[in-house]
Structure 1
Amino acid sequence: MKAITGSEHASEGGRAHRGGVGSVWLRPARAGRSGEAPLTRERIVGAAVALLDEEGFDRLTMRRLAERLGAGATTLYWHVTTKDDVVDLAVDAVFGETPVPGRHTDRPRDDIARLLHDWRRAVLRHPWSAGLPARRRPLLGPNFLTWMEFLQSALLRAGLPEDRLNAATWALYNHVMGATAAQSSLRLSPEEARAGQAYLDGRRDRYPTVAAHSYVTDDDWDGTFAAGLEYLLDGMGARRGPAAG
């Protein structure tokens, strides 16, 4: 493992005093300090998600989060070391909005589809979660791991070989993230859509297939997502009928 330099130590907000562990999930939650108003992970997560929903990832800073909580920066840093900690907690809260059944049905492919459609709806309620910069560490929050356990066990019940499990998981994960990021960021007015189609119509000699298939004007996001998910599950050989055994 690469040693942490002095500058990296400082940029991580004093990580070493908690044992050098990067992920917030691998460190125990800390109780509030005596003499201060109670500040908990739950309050921090609620304020962070609200700030992200209202203003987006780029506007999230530890200072602004502390102000929203009515707390000092020192108090906030007692509970979360870095902005990455806050984002990890907020992302796990989004997964917590995805209903994960307590048990599988005998149709694992249906279980998979239902889980991913529910997660897509949660991400669309929090568009920042689909547009985050590349993460530097794995997701290890309890809500995410519950979601992942259900998804991967359903994939195995649907007949997927174990040596293809991680590839299939990431293909489905990326389908949700890509579809929601595109839907959240692409905002065309009717006039812009018509102008875009007119532009393509005028160049049908160069782009005949694109011009003929509503590339700009098709806004059936639900249908497109569902069809893409079916293509992926078909390609994986996920069974449609009851699970074996």
Structure 2
Amino acid sequence: MTTAEPGVPATGREGSGARPPVWLRAEPSRRRRKPPLTLARIVDAAVNLLDEHGTEGLTMRSLAQRLDVTATALYWHVKTKDDVLDLAVDEIFGDVPVPAVSDDWLDDIRVLVRAWRATMLRHPWAPGLIGRPMLGPNVLTRTEFLQSALLRGGCRGLPLAVATRMLANYVIGASLTEATWHRTADPRARAAARDHIAANAATYPTLDASGHLDDARWDDDVLFEEGLTGILRTAAQAGLPE
């Protein structure tokens, strides 16, 4: 029986192709492990894509590329692009703080609605998507708060439904108008439109006198607050006992 020299594998038993001792082997390179694909990661990537490119820039392929997965992998979690959009809308509603209930139901609504508008403006793609039934937990939680505040103000039955819709439509419409204008409008075009109205004051006397399209007169925040006050005044009157 032969004895191998130190550090040299014995021949005959393992052959000349035997591995060197473990201490002499190079450590294998570590593979980069991708984070597991989860619904939360999909939604987060979708919101980022929507913020960057709008709804036109979100496809299942672009979402898969952003996540560094195959499109097929997405379908284990979501079935359609509409699923992704619904999830993304509900995700950003989670950024709308739910106020602590106070003794002033009107102020509670103001706090909620202001935060809702601010969130819509941060994600200008969102207002245009709020048309399908919104059943996500974040949307329902905030709608529940809104209706409970209106209920504390005396709105019940039809007045409650009407006030809810008025407030929702107002926030969505105002946010959509503002977001679209800020994203696409050329300030020179707005000024030209204002000049056109002023030059034709005889044809548009009310528009000219009201300062239509004159941003220097009343900005979007002022107009929004005044409109909200009017809606809440109507809601308060609807809640009064007959």
Q: Is the 8 A contact 1:152 1:169 kept in 2?
A: yes
d(CA) in 2 for partners of 1:217, 1:189: 14
TM-score normalised to the size of structure 1?
A: 0.78
How far the C-alpha of 1:190 sits from its partner, in A, is 4.2
Q: Is the 8 A contact 2:159 2:238 kept in 1?
A: no
How far the C-alpha of 1:117 sits from its partner, in A, is 0.1
Q: 2:81 aligns with which of 59, 83, 87?
A: 83
| Cα distance change on mapping 1:42 and 1:210 into 2, 3 Å | same
Counterparts of 1:68-79 in structure 2 under 5 Å?
A: 68-79=66-77
1:105 corresponds to 2:102: yes
Q: Amino acid of the residue matched to residue 186 of structure 1?
A: W
Q: Amino acid of the residue matched to residue 235 of structure 2?
A: M
Q: Is the 8 A contact 2:150 2:160 kept in 1?
A: yes
What is the aligned length? 203
How far the C-alpha of 1:225 sits from its partner, in A, is 0.7
Counterparts of 1:119-130 in structure 2 under 5 Å?
A: 119-130=116-127
Match of 1:156 in 2: 151
Match of 1:168 in 2: 163
Q: Is the 8 A contact 1:197 1:216 kept in 2?
A: yes
Counterparts of 1:6-85 in structure 2 under 5 Å?
A: 38-85=36-83
d(CA) in 2 for partners of 1:158, 1:124: 28
If asked which structure has higher relative contact order (CA below 8 Å, sep 6+), I would say 1
d(CA) in 1 for partners of 2:230, 2:164: 14
Deviates more, 1:108-117 or 1:125-134: 125-134
Structure number with greater Rg is: 2
Indicate the SS of the match to 2:75: helix
d(CA) in 2 for partners of 1:72, 1:191: 45
State the Cα deviation string for residues 64-83 of structure 1 (Å, max 9, x = none). 11111111111100000011
Q: Is the 8 A contact 1:109 1:238 kept in 2?
A: no
Unaligned runs of 5+ in 1: 1-35, 241-245
Match of 1:143 in 2: 138
How far the C-alpha of 1:159 sits from its partner, in A, is 1.5
CA RMSD of aligned residues (A): 2.0
d(CA) in 2 for partners of 1:85, 1:193: 37
Deviates more, 1:124-133 or 1:86-95: 124-133
Q: Is the 8 A contact 1:158 1:239 kept in 2?
A: no
d(CA) in 2 for partners of 1:133, 1:199: 34
Match of 1:225 in 2: 224
Q: Amino acid of the residue matched to residue 167 of structure 2?
A: L
d(CA) in 2 for partners of 1:65, 1:111: 37
TM-score normalised to the size of structure 2?
A: 0.79
Counterparts of 1:203-242 in structure 2 under 5 Å?
A: 203-218=200-215, 220-237=219-236
Q: 1:179 aligns with which of 150, 167, 174?
A: 174
d(CA) in 2 for partners of 1:236, 1:214: 28
Unaligned runs of 5+ in 2: 1-33
How far the C-alpha of 1:214 sits from its partner, in A, is 1.7
Q: Is the 8 A contact 1:100 1:115 kept in 2?
A: yes
d(CA) in 1 for partners of 2:130, 2:101: 33
State the Cα deviation string for residues 108-133 of structure 1 (Å, max 9, x = none). 10000100000100111000001237
How far the C-alpha of 1:216 sits from its partner, in A, is 1.5
| Cα distance change on mapping 1:134 and 1:239 into 2, 3 Å | closer
Percentage of identical aligned residues:
48
| Cα distance change on mapping 1:37 and 1:114 into 2, 3 Å | closer
